[in-house]
Chains A and B, each alone.
Chain A
Amino acid sequence: DAGVIQSPRHEVTEMGQEVTLRCKPISGHDYLFWYRQTMMRGLELLIYFNNNVPIDDSGMPEDRFSAKMPNASFSTLKIQPSEPRDSAVYFCASHSTGELFFGEGSRLTVL
């Protein structure tokens, strides 16, 4: 299997612009997670889905963030409008039996 696939790997945008990050989980995994990683706060859970249904979005920082999972093989994390404090690495992860498999991350820089 190719593993968890994320795109884009790098994104540089200006404050106020919309950002969409994409994730393809490992086939057969029924849980999908979005994490954000910063030096100061480490890896923080934003939201997770089970069988395409959002289960816990309590980690989503504010209404500017939204996530969708229209089918079992695709999820998006959208930030609109983006702000400089959103600069971080965003990871997608999936599992079916408890071991989390992470993608390589999307490094977002908001100027």
Chain B
Amino acid sequence: QKEVEQDPGPLSVPEGAIVSLNCTYSNSAFQYFMWYRQYSRKGPELLMYTYSSGNKEDGRFTAQVDKSSKYISLFIRDSQPSDSATYLCAGGTGANNLFFGTGTRLTVIP
């Protein structure tokens, strides 16, 4: 079993839709949870970072961690074509010990 599991999609939504991306993890010691966005042929870039449980909001993006169920979520409101990318979730005990999901490819259709 991988440390972090992610539905690979692909996911296709119309512009303006709310997008929900989800991951599960297996190690209860994980405290750091991150979402990276990766455009085609580019390196991943940090989108959201959450420590322990709870929600974190940044503009149209909300990251949510439920440690009781080992569930990580990213919500995108009012999705835009520029949000089309692959989204990688990651969890770990620190930046030096991160485990990544395989990524979910999202397409937002104008």
Contact = CB atoms under 8 A, between A and B. Distances in A.
* A and B associate in one complex: yes
Interface of B is mostly: loop
Contact of B98 (A39, A45, A91): A45
A45 B32 CA distance: 16
Interface string B77-107: 0000000000010000011101011110000
Nearest to A10: B41
Chain A to chain B: the 6 pairs with minimum beta-carbon distance, closest first:
A102-B43, A42-B102, A43-B100, A98-B95, A104-B43, A102-B44
17 contacts: A31-B95, A39-B102, A40-B102, A41-B102, A42-B6, A42-B100, A43-B44, A43-B103, A50-B96, A56-B96, A91-B44, A98-B32, A98-B95, A100-B95, A102-B45, A104-B41, A104-B42
Interface of A: 4, 31, 39-45, 48, 50, 55-56, 91, 93, 95, 98-105
